[in-house]
Amino acid sequence: IAVIMAGYDPDARANFDGMYEYYTAHPSVNDAGLMAWAQDQACNDVMGADSATDGDLDIAYALWLAHRQWGSNGAVDYRAAATRIMASILASDVSASQSILVGDWANGDAHATGTRPSDFMTHHLRVFAAASGTARWNAIIDHTYTLVQYLQDHAAATTGLLPDFAIGATGTTPLPAPGNWLEGPDDG
């Protein structure tokens, strides 16, 4: 939003750069290129200093927007920062089968085959593919659409609605997650 406000808010870039500094002050313990997902009112990391994929995707995308808006010759090299975060996303937030993980903490644990459909930000992924020329982003998009289609056809044929979380997402036949898979009884 700060980038989009450029031209309307004279402090937009300063606000954005302040948010970038906040991101750099709160690295994930699993991959320093990603951000710890939760802080308290005193700006201390809480609830595990690991990442959440949706935030990582939004940070990388915002940095690409900033690069397009202001260039990358100022105090922050937005392009280089976006490129670093994108590399960390590929390394820590995406499985070997191109499934979007729920965070860098899930890589290799009991949640490694799960995903959160609200993290399916395919527009962000398309921007990353175009900006980087890295074919893997397109493979992630293709896999994501395969998961969406399967879930809609087999778990929500009437509504087309996706579950909060899905399991088996590293394959091509995901299912809604069972209750209490991650956050609560309505996870699926």
Q: What is the pLDDT of residue 73?
A: 95
The mean pLDDT value of the chain amounts to 96
Residue 80 binned pLDDT confidence (cut-offs 50, 70, 90): very high
Closest of 121, 124, 116, 122 to residue 174, by C-alpha? 116
Please state the three-class secondary structure of the chain as a single string: CCCCCCCCCCCHHHHHHHHHHHHHHCECCCCCCCECCCECCCCCECCCCCCCHHHHHHHHHHHHHHHHHHCCCCCCCHHHHHHHHHHHHHHHCECCCCCECCCHHHCCCCCCCCECHHHCCHHHHHHHHHHHCCCHHHHHHHHHHHHHHHHHHHHCCCCCCCCCCEECCCCCCCEECCCCCCCCCCCC
pTM over 0.75: yes
Residue 84 has pLDDT above 90, yes or no: yes
* Contact predicate 30/105, CB 8 Å: yes
Beta pairing partners, 175: 167
Q: At what angle do helices 53-70 and 12-25 cross, to 10 degrees?
A: 140
Q: Which tens digit of pLDDT belongs to each residue from 16-34?
A: 999 999 999 999 999 999 9
Q: What is the pLDDT of residue 108?
A: 82
